[in-house]
A and B are shown apart, each in its own frame.
Chain A
Amino acid sequence: MKLRKTKSIIPGFGLTFGVTITILSLIVLIPLCSLVVYSAKLSPAEFWHTITRERVLSSYCVSIGTSLSAALVNVFMGLALAWVLVRYEFPGKRFLDGIIELPFALPTAVAGISLTHLTTTNGWVGKIAYDLFGVKLAYTPLGITIALIFIGIPFVARSVQPVLEKFDIQYEEAAVILGASRLRIFWTVIFPEILPALISGFTLAFARGVGEYGSVVFISGNIPYETEIAPLLIMSKLQEFDYASATSIALALLLLAFVILSVNAIFQSIVSKRISGMA
């Protein structure tokens, strides 16, 4: 058995490995290398100057702030959705389960224009919000958050759902027998189990939100310093053929995404170690 590890009798390694590496290089590796090569040409001072300009910094703030609040809303709603779909039986459940994936299937630009029209002060939803609370939705950070909530709905729900499905009901039954209240059971028995899935769903939704473009450009109104998101700033630098600035802003954004995903990866490995250590 040990020998087979290096030499398999199944044919086709050369061919499939070759095709894999060739396509991977053409589509992913070479373009990424060109990003690295191009950014190596930028001087650190120039890079720093670009990303610390006030307009750029405020675009990062808008992107991070709105993605963070949208991801938080999605943590709560995603948990509620997963809970409802796993634990309860009710008419229309299958429909609810199917429609969660809509943000993945619906083109972002289509979602964007529709959400914009709904939330302007004349729109179906925006009019109610404006008349009742005097709140404007479209063309404000609130509007961006709405678009990002839309985009992020499936992430948390779909990562928590399988964990909740596998969760052994015996622990809960034991807790009930020991006389724990429902709330206490949720916090001390169920919540620690689903926490890793919640956090990984949160990170995915957050990272997706920071980079999102299509659904946000229409609803944001793109007012500099207020509702201008970082991806849009990259886009406008590209349209001015200012590749150096575009690349600098993009690098900082990539770094941020990398940090977000690494924090999650580290957290997940700590949790899985703890679980396997206990077992």
Chain B
Amino acid sequence: MSRLAAENVTLAYDQRVIAENLSVTIPDHSFTVIVGPNACGKSTLLRALSRMLKPSAGSVLLDGSAISSLPAKKVARTLGLLPQTSVAPDGITVADLVARGRYPHQGLLRQWSAEDERIVQESMAATGVGGLAERYVDELSGGQRQRVWIAMALAQQTPLFLLDEPTTYLDIQHQIEVLDLCAELHEEQGRTLVAVLHDLNHAARYATHLIAMKDGAVIAEGAPCEVVTAELVQRVFGLSCQVIDDPETGTPLIVPAARKPRKAAAAAAVTASAVPTASATAAS
């Protein structure tokens, strides 16, 4: 029995159907990563799992009951989300923003408890933004800002945490920083993480459970070392590649095939052993 699952959902924006009859189960305590080409419905699925999008058929189950039937604040105490775009209010400090993550635990008569305070501190420490507490969010770098938003979602203290493309728009070192942070949250705190990622190599390295989607359907799922093969990448992304072992972690690493110069490509099709080189191109 898993805590979060989508059962036979049909997902659509207005009349445009993105996915039909889709079923996905998120294994508990996994770091699940959803990958797939653009417009395959991976973000849409994440929106449905986080009750941001109501399925037009089927239902998303959280702890066995339809997520749309549960009280909003109760869901927010179980399931956190890092949206793709959020707006930091003008002139807000890091600590103030992180403190807003406590909202689902608060009420009119319980506005700012000692526990809130402790958890805000811990969340900032866990994401390494404790030293920035008094800074304004708009003065931070992209990577720092993303860690602040993650800290806010952490302060929500949810056993399930969904992230919609958390590394988009970040420099490579910040991408790795954010993913390392996610891995830590998963390993050290035993949370279930679900992320949509663009980079297949990042997905293969960090995920414990991978879901590959295409055209609104799940093509394959499982541990990356079992699932990620050259055939799968060809099938899902239409990309020919080699899959080798990541020298750092031993997880699958996708190396896209080298570009075949157009004229040489025809020849290469005949003599498969011929390696197109710059000189060959120049000669032809």
Do the two chains belong together in a single complex? no
Question: Which residues of A line the B interface, CB within 8 A?
Answer: none
